[in-house]
Structures are given as C-alpha cells and as structure tokens.
Structure 1
Amino acid sequence: MDYLPRYPQPFTLAEAIALDVSVISEEITRLQHSLRYLRQTQDTLHEHVASEKPEDIDPEISKALEENEDVIASQEERISILKMALAEKGVHAQNHYDLAPSTQMQTQPIPVGSSDDRSESGLGEGESGVHL
C-alpha cells in the first residue's frame, strides 16, 4: 500500500506499518495532545488579532497563525497515516482515535509562559515522537 503525503512527514506509510501497534497508538495519542494545544494557541492568537486594529496587528502573530495552520494540517495527516497503518495491521479502532473537528472542539486556555508549552505544542517536534 502506497500513500503520497501532502506535507513532509518523518516516516512513510510502509515504515509506519512496520511499527508495533502500541508504538502507533502512543504516537497517535501524542499527536492528538499536541493538536489540542496548537488549536488552543490558535484560538488565543485569533482572539488577539480580532481585538486589534488592522494596522496594529503584529506581523509575527500573523506569521505564527499561518505556520501553526501548516503544523496542524501536517499532524492531522500524520495521524491519518498512522490510522492507515493500524488498519493494515487489522486494527480498526476508528472511533477511538477520531479527532473532534477543529471548529467544534471545546478548549481551555493555555497558561502563558510555561516552558512545557513549546514541546507539547509540536513546535519542538524534533525532540519527541516517532523517529525511524
């Protein structure tokens, strides 16, 4: 089974299929956790931008919003690849790993200034996750 990802990914579908089910499941959970924090950050940034006059919007915030959208899409795609790998292994836990749609997800604000926010948000992806 071949899959051509839209975003650069750290592994191929074939490599994901070679992983143990427990490793795949843990990575899906980690990515879902990261997505939850990224979406919370996006909500906070959108609220800030909405409260500013257009000429006062910090270009760095606009850039962060765009970059986060790409990271979110990439991580969602990665979860899809991992789900395909589980299906290839005969594990059909679709509802267990389904993500809430971005627009309907209820979130809590992220505390500002926490040193863990960066690693949990997926911004420090090179430090954790599945490496092949």
Structure 2
Amino acid sequence: MEYKPRYPQPFSLTEAKLLDVETITEEIARLQNSLHRLNETQDMLREHVASMQQGEEVDPEITKAIEENETVIGSQSERISMLKMALLDKGIVAGSHYDLASPPPRVVAEPAAARPAEEDGGVDL
C-alpha cells in the first residue's frame, strides 16, 4: 500500500526511502527550522489582526499570507512525517530528537539575597 500525501510533495515515500539516513535527518532538521519560523510568523500576523481596532478592516494580503502559511505548514509537517516513515523503514525510530522543539523556557535569575545560603561550603556567585 502506497502512502498518499494530502499535499503535493517534491518526492514520494518510496523515493524518500531511497535516501541515505544523513540526507533524511538533515532534511528533517531543515524543515523543522522552517516550521519554527513559519509558526513565529503566524503568531505575529495573528497578533496583528487581534490588535486591530473593532471595525478596522484586515488587509487582504495579511489574510492571504496566513492562509498560505497554513498550507505550507501542513505540507512541511506532512513531509517530515514521510521522512520519519522512511527512517523507520531503515530501522531507525525517529523519537523526540526529531520532533519540533518548543522554545526553551525563559529563565529568570533570582537575586542573590533571595537564594538560600549553601550549607556545603561552596562558593556563592
């Protein structure tokens, strides 16, 4: 049974299975980076639309960009799935390492006075 993608793709699953592991993993990384950027753009566009005054018309170019980005996001996500299936066919389980990473949590440092004193004789910085 052949995999039938929902979106037009530049290659089939059968063709993806012919690629070497390094090429597949590099393409997954490239697509994940692209998806990250596209999602950031979508967030900015949606924030802009949400911040508009009531009754103000949304620029049709913004609406078009949001719709086009959704299609590209769907296509690229599907392509990543196809590449993961190709890795699985090669006996490699594409675990969380190949999943789109969320941005790291923002770390806010506590002032030194708020931190408890170290009891182990270590140096407080």
User: Which category of TM-score, normalised to the shorter sequence, fits these structures?
Assistant: 0.7 to 0.9
Give how far 1:96 is off: 1.1
Unaligned stretches of 5+ residues in structure 2: 105-125
Unaligned stretches of 5+ residues in structure 1: 108-132
Give how far 1:95 is off: 1.5
Partner Cα distance (1:77, 1:33) in 2:
15
> Normalised by the size of structure 2, how large is the TM-score?
0.77
Give how far 1:49 is off: 0.4
1:1-132 to structure 2, matched below 5 A, reads 2-53=2-53, 54-100=55-101, 105-106=102-103
Deviation by residue 1:70-115 (Cα, 9 ceiling, x = unmatched) = 1001000000000000000001132211225xxxx449xxxxxxxx
Percent identity, aligned pairs only, is 64
Deviation by residue 1:11-39 (Cα, 9 ceiling, x = unmatched) = 00000000000000000000000000000
SS of equivalent residue, structure 1 residue 56: coil
SS of equivalent residue, structure 2 residue 56: helix
Give how far 1:57 is off: 1.1
Partner Cα distance (1:78, 1:12) in 2:
9
Conserved? CA contact 2:8–2:75, under 8 Å: yes
Aligned residues between the structures:
103
Task: List structure 1 segments (4+ residues) > 4 angstroms apart after TM superposition.
Answer: none
> Alpha carbon RMSD of aligned pairs, Å?
1.5
Conserved? CA contact 2:36–2:100, under 8 Å: no
Which one scores higher on RCO, CA 8 angstroms, separation ≥ 6?
1
> Normalised by the size of structure 1, how large is the TM-score?
0.73
